[in-house]
């Protein structure tokens, strides 16, 4: 029997075979107010979003209903830019935004993130809807899962520092 009492938060990634969606579910050991801040403050999001090997630069970040964003991830091989528009930003509760990787400008996904209070902790559920199942499968094949899992681990570390 393990005597390890640390709580390990698993990242669940579900891709329904018949729908062009990806649903991410992850719990964090922090209240929704803190987790929401980590998603909506540029100086915080650069500390966790994406894989560890990439450095993130924010060009535009207006996390409010009708605002826009653009950021770049950079490594020794180059630069990967992403942009979108915030359709709805409801503090500590919900963010709805578009998401485009500039390398594939026709591929726009609609992402809805909800922040659920589970007794002082937070469950974040992000649903991404893309144009086709094929486009969704290509996103997953691109190594997205590693970046998401590493990013959430980095977010755990950031939330611990913020607490």
Specify the pTM. 0.90
Nearest Cα residue to 69 out of 85, 91, 89, 46: 85
CATH code, domain with 79: 3.30.530.20
- Domain contains 139: yes
pLDDT in tens, the chain (163 residues): 434 334 578 999 999 999 999 999 999 999 999 999 999 999 999 999 998 999 999 999 999 999 999 999 999 999 999 999 999 999 999 999 999 999 887 889 999 999 999 999 999 999 999 999 988 998 888 888 888 999 999 999 999 999 8
- Domain contains 121: yes
Q: How many Cβ atoms sit within 10 Å of the Cβ of residue 33?
A: 12
Number of domains in the chain: 1
- How far apart are alpha carbons 31 and 17 in whole angstroms? 33
- Domain contains 88: yes
- Domain contains 21: no
Q: How many Cβ atoms sit within 10 Å of the Cβ of residue 121?
A: 16
User: Is there a contact between 91 and 113 (Cβ–Cβ < 8 Å)?
Assistant: no
Q: How many Cβ atoms sit within 10 Å of the Cβ of residue 104?
A: 12
- How far apart are alpha carbons 4 and 64 in whole angstroms? 41
Give the pLDDT score at 140: 87
- Domain contains 122: yes
Structural domain that includes position 34: 28-162
- Domain contains 102: yes
> CA gyration radius for the chain?
16
């Amino acid at each position: 029997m393990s005597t390890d009492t640390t709580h390990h938060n698993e990242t669940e990634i579900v891709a329904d075979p018949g729908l062009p969606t990806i649903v991410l579910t992850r719990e964090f050991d922090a209240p929704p107010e803190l987790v929401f801040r980590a998603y909506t403050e540029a100086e915080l999001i650069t500390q966790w979003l994406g894989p560890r090997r990439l450095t993130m630069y924010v060009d535009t970040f207006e996390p409010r209903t009708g605002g826009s964003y653009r950021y770049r991830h950079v490594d020794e091989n180059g630069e990967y830019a992403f942009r979108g528009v915030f359709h709805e930003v409801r503090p500590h509760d919900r963010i709805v935004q578009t998401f485009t990787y500039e390398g594939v400008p026709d591929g726009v996904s609609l992402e809805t993130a909800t922040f659920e209070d589970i007794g002082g902790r937070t469950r974040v559920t992000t649903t991404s809807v893309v144009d086709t199942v094929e486009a969704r499968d290509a996103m997953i094949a691109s190594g997205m899962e590693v970046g998401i899992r590493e990013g959430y681990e980095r977010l755990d570390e950031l939330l611990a520092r913020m607490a």
